[in-house]
Amino acid sequence: MHNIKDTTLMNTCSYINGNWHKSDSSFKVLNPATGELIVQVSDAGADEATLAVQAAKSAFKSWSAKPAHERANLLRNWFNLMMTHQEDLARILTLEQGKSLAEAKGEIAYGASFIEWFAEESKRVYGDTIPSLSANQKVIVIKQAIGVVAAITPWNFPNAMIARKAAAALAAGCTFVVRPAAQTPLSALAMAELAQRAGIPAGVFNVVVGEKASEIGQVLTTHPDIAKFTFTGSTAVGKMLIKQCASTVKKVSMELGGNAPFIVFNDADIDEAVKGAINSKYRNAGQTCVCTNRIFVQKDVLTVFTEKFTAAVAKLTVGNGLNDHTDIGPLITSDAVDGVAKLVDESISQGAVLAMGGKRHQAGSHFYQPTILTQVTHDMTIAHSEIFGPVSTIIAFEDEADVIAMANDTEYGLAAYFYSRDIGRVWRVAQALEYGMVGINEGLISNAAAPFGGVKQSGNGREGSKYGLDDYLEIKYLCMGGIE
């Protein structure tokens, strides 16, 4: 089926308490490149979400009590299985999400790398002893798993957005319930299949797949047995879910939208800047939260950068992600294509100049041409909208102070990029940019060792790195008295 060698990775039911749970109705999972039906998936709702929370609650006591190295070994098994099945997992991912097979393989390796990373980090959850103010007391700090974690994840990274959260949660000793986006449930279910094979006990990792996002979301944000809620998605939905979590005062972390500036200073290495801009803009057809959204180019290098960048974009191949040589796949829905087309048309009517593309692509109803708009200005709608498509906007600037002001003039603060070889400028600009992550002469910045996350309305909390476990741990202070 679909050239997937291990067809048992293609599951169609929610995975709850170690079992595949069939629901009464089903929904369609479509291939965004062709519109074809891939498979019908059992449509879970609030009842199944509640069952999954109960399973996670029951499993918590024994999972959190396991010695860290035992949890680490199981996570390591899961990592190994994901890498063994990288090709099949990538194919499933491309089928339901659209990105090129090469990018999908990269996402599987990236997702798995968080499982490997946190398997190792789980052994290093250290506490503290603090010198006491009193002679007969000892002050000790321990860290404990927070409890049941619920997650909601988006369609743009159907594997990695789950892996980044689940790996840290399970490593910390938490149990986990995830509801993936309805467009991309298959990658999540394939992860569940491999978690089961890895020996991760029933109830520790649960996947609830269903079309009724708000119904399942209501359970996952209000159930009193859930201690922590973690979300990756749009800022608008994130804000609503934070409010829902308030009723039971859950610990919350949010990975939300972005409006990344990409700044090219006069002293930049232009070829490197072009390479970085291509990587950070056109990956996943422009549908990533850290995608470059605004390219600011200093006046002296505007012409040379634009020429070289346009030549590089012209080489990108659009098509079905399963075809060899595809660089840019489809957008996730035809609504997404409509949204991108509207933004481009509006920009042109506001004075932007079309340097390339600007139309729907002949490959199908979900495709849009790689596009470059020049003479964009900071006051245009597109400069303040998350484009989420293969469209670059080039904005000219005069000096450092101007560009920093424009770059920071957004409610978002996820990723920013800039290119310069002046060491003084590098420090000044790195410090001045109000973003959680800054790529300096680098367009691809995310990896398991680094803390991923945003400031302002791009969210809170960090995923990956030595800091990533903190979101899943509580600090407990022990005051031992009566010590002579």
Binding region for ligand NAP (CB under 6 A): 152-157, 161, 181-183, 213-214, 217, 232-234, 237, 255-258, 289, 386, 414, 454, 459
Which CB sits closer to ligand NAP, 253 or 306?
Answer: 253
- 67, 68, 72, 75: CA torsion to nearest 10: 80
Measured CA to CA, the distance from residue 346 to residue 377 in angstroms comes to 13
The answer to whether 19 and 173 have CB atoms below 8 angstroms apart is no
Choose the catalytic residue: 289, 291, 400, 463.
289
CA distance 179 to 209: 6
Cβ atoms 358, 382 nearer than 8 A: no
Using the minimum distance from each CB to ligand NAP, give the nearer residue, 42 or 156: 156
* Distance in Å, CB of 236 to ligand NAP, minimum: 7
Please identify which residue in the block is written with the tokens 């900071």. 378
Contact 171, 117 (CB under 8 A): no
What is the number of H-type helices and E-type strands within the chain? Answer: 13, 20
By beta-carbon proximity to ligand NAP, the closer residue of 154 and 173 is: 154
Rg (alpha carbons) of the chain, rounded to whole number: 23
Q: Which is nearer to ligand NAP, 155 or 367 (CB)?
A: 155
Shortest Å, Cβ 216 to ligand NAP = 7
Q: Is 255 a catalytic residue?
A: yes
Closest residue to ligand NAP, judged by C-beta, is 217
Q: Which pair of structure tokens corresponds to residue 4?
A: 């997937």
> 183 vs 187, which CB is nearer to ligand NAP?
183
Partners of residue 42 on adjacent β-strands: 26
β-strand partners of 437: 415
Closest Cα partner for 373 from 447, 295, 298, 431? Answer: 295
CB-wise, 71 or 99, nearer to ligand NAP?
Answer: 99
For the purposes of burial, counting CB atoms within 10 Å of the CB of 134, is it exposed (0-12), middle (13-18) or buried (19 or more)?
exposed
Strands 14-16 and 19-21, by their bridges, are antiparallel
Cβ atoms of 296 and 395 closer than 8 Å = yes
Both tokens of 291, joined, read 């995608």
| 45: its two tokens | 């709702």
| Contact assessment for residue 104 and residue 15, using Cβ atoms and an 8 Å cutoff | no
- Residue 331 bridge partners (DSSP): none
Distance CA 124, CA 468 (A): 12
Say how far apart CA 240 and CA 263 lie, in whole Å: 32
Nearer to ligand NAP, 125 or 189 (CB): 189
Q: At 125, phi and psi to the nearest 5?
A: -85, 85
Token pair for residue 481?
């008295």
Query: Which is the catalytic residue, given 96, 103, 255, 463?
Result: 255
Buried b (16+ CB within 10 A) or exposed e, 34-67: beeebbebbbbbbebbbbbbbbbbbbbeebbebe
DSSP 8-class letter at 51: H
User: Quick one: 77 or 385, whose CB is closer to ligand NAP?
Assistant: 385
Catalytic residue check, 411: no
- Which residues are catalytically annotated? 255, 289
